[in-house]
Structure 1
Amino acid sequence: MKNRTFEDFDFTDFWDDDEYAKNGYIGEFPTEEMIEEVERELGYKLPESYIWLMKQHNGGIPFNVCFPCDEPTSWADDHVAITGIMGMDKDKMYSLCGQLGSRFMIEEWGYPDIGVAICDCPSAGHDMIFLDYRECGPQGEPKVVHVDQENDYYITLLADNFEDFIRGLVNEEVFDTLEEDERKELEKVRTAAFSPLLSDLCSKCDNPVDTERWIRKVSEEIVTDKGFFALHADTRSYMLYDIQLWLYTNVYPDTTEEDYLSAYKKIIALDGEFSTGGYAPDFVTDWLTRRKESGIITCNNGIVSMTTGAKETLLADRDKM
């Protein structure tokens, strides 16, 4: 019987095989043994359309990276975007069983265990595309969904199957709203109201007015760099992490690590108009670990605090404004 997978679909200009794609995504053509091994490790039967596509091109970055959707997500009001499609070569970082593959996103980033993470997104882990096996079971035909870490892992249905998802990808020029999105984000960090907790912390520091201006300035620089307001592992994000800890421990000096990590989401991440709208806990804990290792933050008898020298260095940046 003739295989009708992707019948009449032209893949001539589908893949963008730049060096980044070659290094991170594109692997050797999968053998039957490789396919069986990947399915065994994941615990799911992969869709025939996915397997067929990987036999033509094992992972990679398509030219068309946007998929329209009917409800807003943390990425956009009318679509989601992908960075690449994960293949089956374990040696590639962005592959199903690679270093940053499906199990990593579920076990380390807290994504719901509903199936297989199949595409990463431009938000650096804050949203993902999954094959969703909840209705069909591990051996069935999964739907394709968007999982939004920024919105408490909210799940949005995109397509009834993988082939429909691939057929539905469109070029980002269709949704060229980046300038408008950045303008809105800049307006937010410049003028939006702080959360009740952040407002209270600022009011109790030595210079509330300059501290608020300082927070907004650093946040504006983050938006200018990224096009949106989110904290990752970059220098300015680390400064905003530092500022939040300094403010919090200034008011609550007997704070434990556990207490602070619990309170963190109410400062900027998830409360008030001036908010990133979500956060990845691993970024916060990694920042805390690195700051402790470098001696900027101490933890004595369970109490977390910044060293005197670290505070002076931090506040010197504020005073330079």
Structure 2
Amino acid sequence: MKQFWANQSDDPYTLKKISEKDILKTEKKLGVKLPQEYKNLVLEQNGGYLECNAFPTDRPTSWAEDHIQFDHLLGIGKKEGILESDYLIKEWGLPKDIILISGDGHSWVALDYRNTIENPPVHFFDLETEEDFKIADSFNEFISKLYIDDSDDSEPDLEGLDPEDYELTYISPDDPDAITKDEVNRIFEKNNEELFSNLKLFPIQNYDDLIWLLKKIETHTNSTNDVDGALELGLVLDTVATYKKNLILENKESLETFKSIISNLNRLNDSDVEIIVNQLEDFIE
């Protein structure tokens, strides 16, 4: 049998080792039977990057004319694992009763349990083209057709690049989609979960902007019991932390406020919120 796992060091998709008992608990929680081939693989290594990186398709996708990318397989776990599926399904508007096994937000590969609880086919979901189609009748067939595609050489060479030499660009006040403090206040006053995602459009130009927004989120999460709204605010905080991590960590007040928001979200005791909380906690470890 050819090598399946790439065995990379510091692989973000490789989770802690699991047992057959852990798999049984997972199947009970999900209410489905996982493919035996999948279970064999995650017992060997619980998720990770693969030796192969592509799967052939008979139709063009947003990825390529004749294949999709498949360079990692999600293991069993809440973060970067298949137990994150429910949260990601809600976040990306995917159908229920599927289990995501790989993806990046714009496209996903999933075990499709919409019409069965065992032996699921494998489906590809392309959010850019709004397509959902079967790519294999079984997981075993799917992994048997994986191959190495080396045709894409468009990725930039980042060797030797110091992270301090570049900075992620946050939304600018000049951006036509940017919102003002007054608009932020109105969003919180309306208390509409569908509007909370727009808070990502508030331009944070300095520390005063950052702490002002964090305090707004802290106040709201301290008093709300609305799980959906709290989840949206958690996603906003995740975006802010991605772009402004150093600014948060370098100042005691912002760091304590960030921790306070995490505590407020934890109070809701919701499995979906717990996933985003785990991601937020990673920023301050």
TM bucket, shorter chain: 0.5 to 0.7
Letter in 2 for 1:28: K
In the other structure, the counterpart of 1:58 is 46
Instruction: Tell me which of 107, 116, 123 is aligned to 1:127.
Output: 107
CA contact (8 A) 1:119 1:130 kept: yes
Residue 96 (structure 1) aligned with residue 82 (structure 2): yes
Is 1:40 matched with 2:18? no
Q: Is the 8 A contact 1:25 1:84 kept in 2?
A: no
- Contact in 1 for aligned 2:50/2:72 (Cα 8 Å): yes
1:166 aligned partner, one-letter code: I
* Cα distance in 2, alignment partners of residues 159 and 61 from structure 1: 20
Query: Residues of 1 paired with 2:33 and 2:62: CA distance?
Result: 30
**AA at the equivalent of 2:49:** I
Give the structure 2 partner of residue 6 of structure 1: none
Structure 2 residue aligned with 1:111: 94
User: CA 1:242 to 1:164, structure 2 compared with 1: closer, same or farther past 3 Å?
Assistant: farther
Q: CA deviation at 1:66?
A: 0.3
Residue 186 of structure 1 is matched in structure 2 by none
Percent sequence identity is: 28
The alignment of Structure 1 onto Structure 2 pairs a total of residues equal to: 197
Please tell me the root mean square deviation across aligned C-alpha atoms, in Å: 3.8
8 Å contact kept, 1:62–1:84: yes
8 Å contact kept, 1:108–1:282: no
For residue 171 of structure 2, give the secondary structure of its aligned residue in structure 1: helix
**So what's the TM-score if we normalise by structure 1?**
0.51
> 1:293 & 1:164 partners in 2: Cα distance?
50
List 4+ stretches of structure 1 deviating above 6 A: none
1-side partners of 2:75 and 2:111: how far apart? Answer: 13
| Runs of 5+ unmatched residues, structure 2 | 159-166, 188-193, 217-285
The superposition leaves residues 254-284 of structure 1 with CA deviations (integer Å, 9 ceiling, x where unpaired) of xx86xxxxxxxxxxxxxxxxxxxxxxx9996
What is aligned with 1:239? Answer: 171
State the AA in 1 paired with 2:145.
G
**Bigger CA radius of gyration:** 1
What CA distance in whole angstroms lies between the structure 2 residues aligned with 1:81 and 1:159?
A: 15
| TM alignment of 1:130-279, pairs within 5 A | 130-135=110-115, 137-138=116-117, 140-152=118-130, 154-173=131-150, 176-179=151-154, 235-236=168-169, 238-239=170-171, 243-246=175-178
Q: Where do residues 78-93 of structure 1 align in structure 2 (5 Å cutoff)?
A: 78-88=66-76, 90=77, 93=79
Shift of 1:54: 2.0
